[in-house]
Amino acid sequence: RMAQNGISENGVTEGVPALPFPQPTEVQEIRHTKIFIDNEWHTSCRGRTFPTFNPATGVKLCEVEEADKTLETLDTGKPFLQSFYIDLDGSIKTLRYYAGWADKIHGKSLPVDESFVCLTKHEPVGVCGAIIPWNFPLLMFMWKIAPALSCGNTVVVKPAEQTPLTALHVGSLIKEAGFPPGVVNIVPGFGPTAGAAIANHMDIDKVAFTGSTEVGQLIKEAAAKSNLKRVTLELGGKNPCIVFADCDLQLAVEETQKGAFYNQGQCCTAASRVFVEESIYEEFVRRSIENAKKIVVGDPLDPQTTQGPQIDRQQFNKIMDLIESGKKEGAKLEYGGEAVGEKSLFIQPTIFSEVKDHMRIAKEEIFGPVQCIFSFKSQQEAIERANSSQYGLVSAVFTRSMDRALSVSAALETGTVWINCYNALHAQTPFGGYKMSGNGRELGEYALAEYSEVKAVTIKLSETI
């Protein structure tokens, strides 16, 4: 599919077809900047607004109304073709998948004592709060509202303060589609105000959050201290890829780099720890450097671009600090490691080899275009080191042996294991983490349980048959 749309396996555009996307010089009209409640647009109760910026140019796009206790590429800086073919396409597939579930959510009749009949019913949880991140604002919006709505709930969505525009535009589409007032409400704002209000509110029955582990802990604490609302958390990751000597080497190079550099590395699923068997280690590093040189860093509205800017200055500085720590702690900088241009938010795709498990770049979530390559000797060593992280979101195994693939995947402590692929996400497949990567599942049939209450109804028969 990607190749048909002009994107090669390694993410480099080839023969890009003419598409209805905006050109870099076009000025985009921002129509929706207010709070969306009960199908109406409202100003902030305190009259406050906050700016949102284009991270590629630093230009302020508009002022957005800030909720208090109460256009994807422009907003995020990701390359347009990725927004068009992956984020938008994934959003549509998610909506269609859960639309299909809406009339198929039902209970069971249970065999019990012959004097009784027991039935189960699946009922809506109630009001669901959804707090979504800035790295995939449209896709995460759909991941949250689609299962919630299919189960009959209402939703209050807080988009990230860095990227509120997509969610607000979807609000206009929700009204146009004829949703009843109050079914979906959108409250842009900041975590300590709008986000905290959702987590603490006594009339919100469930919160779904995607973001950092630290904030996830605060949300779970607030839920416990308020009304014990349900909480599902999709949090950070320090995700291992294990590359065995019997793998398809070029495939492993391309897939692990797709995992490391996709969306400027700003993914909870980022392939940030690549463990390579010693006998192929040097060749893997050499090919990785060659592959990274094909990445085009530039204007995200240019169809030739495959890597855009980081989301903001704070994130940029964090990434550069971790790159410097890698150098100081003894990792070998093989490629990149520098900013692109003065006062910009662009960072070169960066590769470190000879990385050791104690280094900061080996333990901390970088959330930037940095690939860390380790070596290992035995399968057991690789498994133990892969599992040594506090996180457990995703992992990958590259091998031609199905026996090895299945045995290693069984041993890895992650919610998802990809075999000979990376970032293979589907609306039908559950997604979530072990350990400090969160709890609960999004996507697939499994997500429906997060948005439903199960009621048991037991009936005493007057006569036995």
- Alpha carbons 65 and 50: distance in angstroms, whole number: 7
| Interior angle at CA 281, CA 353 and CA 249, nearest 5 | 115
Report yes or no: 77 and 309 within 8 Å, Cβ to Cβ: yes
- Alpha carbons 418 and 106: distance in angstroms, whole number: 32
Burial of 460 (0-12, 13-18, 19+ CB in 10 A): exposed
324 is catalytic: no
- Alpha carbons 217 and 207: distance in angstroms, whole number: 13
Report yes or no: 166 and 75 within 8 Å, Cβ to Cβ: yes
Burial of 364 (0-12, 13-18, 19+ CB in 10 A): middle
Please tell me whether residue 199 adopts helix, strand or coil conformation.
helix
Cα dihedral value 459, 462, 464, 465, nearest 10 = -100
Report the first-to-last Cα separation within the chain, whole angstroms: 59
* Pairing relationship of beta strands 438-439 and 230-234 according to DSSP bridges: antiparallel
DSSP H/E element including 129: strand 127-131
Catalytic residue selected from 234, 255, 277, 365: 234
- Alpha carbons 133 and 212: distance in angstroms, whole number: 9
- Cα maximum dimension of the chain: 84
Count each helix (H run) and each strand (E run) in the chain, helices first: 13, 22
- Alpha carbons 344 and 320: distance in angstroms, whole number: 13
DSSP one-letter string for 213-277:
HHHHHHHHHHHHHTT--EEEEE-----EEEE-TTS-HHHHHHHHHHHHHGGGG--TT---EEEEE
Q: Which residue intervals of 297-428 are DSSP H helices?
A: 313-328, 360-363, 379-386, 402-411
**What residues have CB less than 8 Å from 98, skipping those under 6 apart?**
146, 147, 149, 150, 427
Report yes or no: 275 and 321 within 8 Å, Cβ to Cβ: no
Active site residues: 234
